[in-house]
Chains A and B, each alone.
Chain A
Amino acid sequence: MPESGAQVTMRVWRGDADGGTFEDYQIPAAEGMVVLDVIHRIQATQAPDLAVRWNCKAGRCGSCSAEVNGKPRLMCMTRMNHFAPGEPITVAPLRTFPPIKDLVTDLSYNYQKAKSVPAFKPGPKEADGTRRMYQEDVDRVQEFHKCIECFLCQTVCHVIRDHEENKPAFAGPRLFVRLAALEMHPLDTNDRLGLINQQSGLGYCNITKCCTDVCPESIKITDNAIIPLKERVVTEFHDPVVWAWRKLTGRKKVELPVTSG
């Protein structure tokens, strides 16, 4: 950790859609500082027009995503003592999305994809007019609801990070988490497996787990959302036994013993 009062060098990307460069700023370190504090110090003392998104500064809102020393992280949850003293710390905007200015990028890809998800549609209520769900059923989905939409998983996912052309056909880990939440919701009755398999491009994911690695909420995106979705897609579209069973029985869908709450 840099000593209190010692200078740290921050190498911050400055620019816009037309291009930009890294600029160095010297800032005195203080105890317990996070990267976002340092960016704010730069704003307040050296570069008042340095653009950065932030809101809660407590790892709750997921606004201050950036690439610190090449790794996608939340700036508000990245302590300065995480870094070796003396070396400059690089802060760059999310690479996967088009730059707007400095550390701010255009995240509309994510909001457009979110619109493609069919809404939650609960089944009928219980006879007594209540909705009953049990903790063991909601535990799994609550993990997905922890998502703060920082889009770090989206930016680290190589399917779109390194292959811009895949963007129209691929929804990204954030959307898979959302789709998994709806798909496994004990009350939901909408069927989204076709969408997951086709338009959302689940097959593009090669489960290399970078989304899980960067998730600040420690959601096991790959193991708990994507792979179970892949297994459900296998049953629905790739399982020869299920296919043969359907041909024999004339049933459209496998009759899984799914109970509604």
Chain B
Amino acid sequence: MTAVPQEIRAEPLPMAAESRRRDAWWAEPLAVVVVLTSFGLYALWAALQNGNYYAAPYLSPFYSPCISVNCVHVTLPLIGSWWTLSPALLILGIPLGFRVTCYYYRKAYYRAFFWSPPACAIPDARRGYSGETRFPFVLQNSHRYFFWLSLVVLAFLWWDALLAFRFPTGVGIGLGTVVLVVNATLLTLYSLSCHSCRYLCGGYLDSFKDAPIRYRLWRWTNRLNARHPHFAWISLFGVALADLYVRLVAMGVITDPRIVF
């Protein structure tokens, strides 16, 4: 082989049956399909309910911030009474967009749903492939804007969590308070561990010599970023369970146990 340029040579080997992976490579994509599909169906159902999303003082995270005046618990009255659909539909686009364009979820669903590739060294399902160079996948580049918007939503979730300490009888803590605080914490960890956040905190610099604060921020987001996949899954379960808890309390199926009166 010389360094004198050569044409890229013939086709690669056709894959013989013997050289296929023999381990259970399908388990991971299968699990991703099951979890994401279940979550998607539950979230859609919950968002369309337009009811049982507030059980004082708890607001379901699927409906927060509630920005329609028709809301049971209005956070910010931005949308007039003409909006009669579920107020969840007004804001769910932000967390949805954040997760869809997330560098980690992209890996998970490109593998599990698009089969490009289903697992490492397992052939792609489709013949043609252009990656994220064309529409619609080129829109994945908007991730950093969804990150900024998510921070806004996150602020409201913390506001909700704060309000969850305020009972008619005074300040207290119920199980729902804990649920909302944990949910906000998990979503915060997920958001701040995001790759875009890491970049915006200091990753764009080539030298940190004159940027000690950005260096520390960047280091800190690096450590979080290493666990981004964990936070992605835990916060996904967290937000669904938080909605379910508020929903069950609102429906009267369970009563919220008070921990501190």
Q: Which A positions have Cβ atoms within 8 angstroms of B?
A: 11, 13, 17, 21-22, 67, 69-72, 87, 90, 92-93, 95-99, 106-109, 111-112, 115, 133-134, 136-137, 156, 158-159, 161-164, 166-168, 183-186, 188, 201, 203-210, 213-214, 222-223, 227-228, 230-235, 238-239, 256-261
B207, A223: Cβ atoms closer than 8 Å: no
B129, A163: Cβ atoms closer than 8 Å: yes
A159, B131: Cβ atoms closer than 8 Å: yes
Q: At the interface with chain A, which of B13-21, B33-41, B79-87, B159-167?
A: B13-21
B144, A234: Cβ atoms closer than 8 Å: yes
Per a CB cutoff under 8 Å, which of A137, A159, A203, A209 touches B138?
A203
Q: Which B positions have Cβ atoms within 8 angstroms of A?
A: 1, 3, 5-6, 8-13, 15-16, 18-23, 103, 106-107, 110-111, 116-117, 120-121, 123-124, 127-133, 137-138, 141-144, 195-196, 198-199, 203-211, 215, 225-226
A210, B138: Cβ atoms closer than 8 Å: no
Q: Which residues of A contact B3 (CB under 8 A)?
A: 111, 115
A112 vs chain B, min Cβ distance (A): 6
A6 vs chain B, min Cβ distance (A): 20
Q: Which residues of A contact B138 (CB under 8 A)?
A: 203, 238
Per a CB cutoff under 8 Å, which of B6, B22, B110, B205 touches A206?
B110
A71, B121: Cβ atoms closer than 8 Å: yes
A232 vs chain B, min Cβ distance (A): 7
Complex CA distance for A260 and B225, rounded to whole angstroms: 27
A69, B11: Cβ atoms closer than 8 Å: no
Q: Which residues of B contact A203 (CB under 8 A)?
A: 131-133, 138
A158, B117: Cβ atoms closer than 8 Å: yes
Per a CB cutoff under 8 Å, which of A95, A137, A227, A239 touches B208?
A137
- Given known A-B contacts A70-B22, A205-B132, A210-B117, A259 and B207 have beta carbons under 8 A apart: yes
Complex CA distance for A106 and B1, rounded to whole angstroms: 8
A98, B211: Cβ atoms closer than 8 Å: no
> What are 24 A-B contacts defined by CB distance under 8 Å?
A70-B20, A92-B18, A98-B9, A98-B10, A98-B12, A106-B1, A108-B1, A112-B6, A115-B3, A136-B208, A161-B12, A163-B127, A164-B12, A186-B206, A204-B131, A206-B106, A207-B107, A208-B107, A208-B110, A210-B117, A223-B195, A227-B195, A231-B195, A239-B144
